[in-house]
């Protein structure tokens, strides 16, 4: 496997674009009142533990750092051992090994791992160490924007995506008012709300803004099929929220109607289309236990992709398990792009196979290879480690079967990890993050 070694060593040297993260800003990262289990089980692998049989009610106790670490470990040990074969499990073991010198997470190593991780977190510039030095990340696109915008820490190598869900799913009149006031609009009509949306979207991609794209996460709660509807239907839903305006905002069960959601999605798309923005869309597997996977099939976006041809639709998570549906969309639409974020840990094998097949069907300038998609920074390390190996493996297979020569495979690896996402998200306007193409 000489091609694999050559490809991996080249890819290991790249400073890559990380298309998607949920990391807190470094200044907000927990350094106290947390520990390795509380962090590593915030998401992902905790779901594999539940899937392996851990009762949901025990999970909360296991993640409570005020309780004894080893007692909590005992509670999950059989489920941990049952699930550590998954991409999520392997990612954590790789992270423990390469960041903290712990060979395998187990009852024997947990206390030492915890001590080393918490000591490392106490150091200055921890993000820079994990993301830039160890993981070779040039810049990460962080999901959701901290407010106020002016408050951003600039040395974190983070840029941001504007989540559009809040324009589709206000739960209460107070949401309208709070969001509106941030951009100087008092919201009393549907028109006002569209104006609020426009003012937010105007910030995306502008010269000094750290906002680089939009993001839609709606597939967690509804279908990705957004039918066109009349303004009158949407207005009826909108006004209904105002009927409840005397009720306290914590009142559960208030839900905005679907006509409003659809109307607002088309407004968001109209505004994004006029500006040629990139819209990241969650497709495929939903995090958490139990959901309607069919809501997140990327083909449900077909009407939007047809109507708004200037929007670059960056479809997330390999569409897993709708991997080939996503390939079809990217092949058939010039404005649909594949984003493998989260994918290399959902299933490393699915990621390798998908890439092998996509490269037979989809132009290589339409695929972004990596987004960590983690809520705790350490996980990004293990994820990029797997991503680099997966891409090297898929490309080596193409070299072995004679469909690519090695030079072409090397060039494509640069595109997937750097050039494609850089172009798609307009990251050229942050030259500081791309001073050198390689790690050292």
Nearer to Zn ion, 222 or 411 (CB): 222
Buried b (16+ CB within 10 A) or exposed e, 244-264: eeeeeeeeeebebbbbbbbbb
Nearer to Zn ion, 140 or 397 (CB): 140
Nearer to Zn ion, 182 or 287 (CB): 287
Q: How far is the CB of 161 from Zn ion (least distance, A)?
A: 10
Q: How far is the CB of 338 from Zn ion (least distance, A)?
A: 16
User: Could you list the residues that contact Zn ion (CB under 5 A)?
Assistant: 373
Q: Which residue is nearest to Zn ion (CB)?
A: 373
- Name residue, tokens 């293990």: 382
Nearer to Zn ion, 21 or 35 (CB): 21
Nearer to Zn ion, 283 or 397 (CB): 283
Q: How far is the CB of 376 from Zn ion (least distance, A)?
A: 13
Q: How far is the CB of 171 from Zn ion (least distance, A)?
A: 21
Q: How far is the CB of 71 from Zn ion (least distance, A)?
A: 32
Phi, psi of 384 (to 5 degrees): -65, -30
Q: How far is the CB of 130 from Zn ion (least distance, A)?
A: 18
Nearer to Zn ion, 368 or 413 (CB): 368
Q: How far is the CB of 375 from Zn ion (least distance, A)?
A: 9
Nearer to Zn ion, 48 or 373 (CB): 373
Nearer to Zn ion, 166 or 328 (CB): 166
Q: How far is the CB of 342 from Zn ion (least distance, A)?
A: 6
């Amino acid at each position: 496997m000489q091609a694999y070694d050559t490809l991996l060593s080249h890819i290991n040297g790249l400073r890559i674009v990380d298309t998607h993260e949920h990391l807190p800003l470094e200044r907000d990262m927990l350094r106290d009142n947390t520990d390795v289990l509380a962090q590593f089980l915030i998401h992902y692998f905790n779901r594999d533990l539940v899937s392996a049989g851990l009762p949901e009610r025990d999970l909360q106790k296991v993640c409570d750092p005020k309780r004894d670490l080893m007692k909590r470990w005992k509670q999950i040990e059989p489920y941990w051992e049952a699930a550590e074969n998954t991409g999520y499990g392997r990612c954590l073991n790789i992270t423990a090994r390469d960041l903290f010198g712990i060979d395998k997470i187990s009852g024997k190593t947990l206390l030492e791992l915890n001590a080393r991780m918490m000591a490392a977190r106490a150091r200055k510039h921890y993000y820079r160490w994990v993301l830039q030095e160890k993981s070779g990340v040039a810049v990460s696109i962080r999901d959701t924007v901290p407010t106020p915008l002016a408050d951003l820490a600039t040395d974190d190598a983070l840029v941001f995506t504007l989540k559009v869900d809040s324009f589709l799913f206000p739960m209460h009149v107070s949401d309208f008012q709070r969001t509106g006031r941030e951009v100087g609009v008092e919201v009393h009509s549907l028109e006002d709300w569209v104006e609020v949306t426009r003012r937010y979207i105007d910030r995306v991609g502008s010269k000094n803004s750290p906002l680089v794209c939009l993001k839609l996460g709606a597939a967690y709660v509804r279908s990705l099929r957004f039918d066109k509807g009349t303004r009158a239907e949407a207005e009826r839903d909108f006004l209904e929220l105002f009927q409840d305006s005397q009720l306290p905002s914590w009142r559960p069960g208030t839900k905005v109607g679907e006509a409003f959601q659809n109307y607002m999605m088309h407004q968001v798309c109209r505004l994004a289309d006029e500006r040629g923005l990139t819209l990241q869309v969650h497709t495929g597997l939903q995090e958490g236990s139990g959901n309607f996977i069919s809501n997140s099939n990327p083909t449900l976006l077909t009407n939007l992709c047809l109507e708004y041809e200037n929007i670059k639709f960056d479809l997330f998570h390999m569409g897993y398990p709708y991997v080939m549906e996503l390939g079809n969309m990217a092949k058939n639409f010039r404005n649909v792009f594949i984003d493998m974020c989260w994918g290399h840990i959902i299933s490393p094998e699915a990621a390798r196979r998908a890439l092998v097949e996509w490269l037979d069907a989809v132009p290589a300038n339409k695929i972004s290879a990596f987004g960590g998609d983690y809520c705790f920074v350490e996980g990004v390390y293990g994820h990029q480690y797997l991503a680099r190996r997966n891409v090297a493996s898929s490309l080596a297979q193409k070299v072995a079967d004679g469909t690519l020569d090695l030079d072409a495979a090397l060039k494509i690896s640069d595109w997937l990890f750097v050039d494609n996402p850089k172009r798609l998200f307009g990251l050229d306007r942050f030259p500081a993050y791309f001073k050198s193409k390689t790690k050292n």
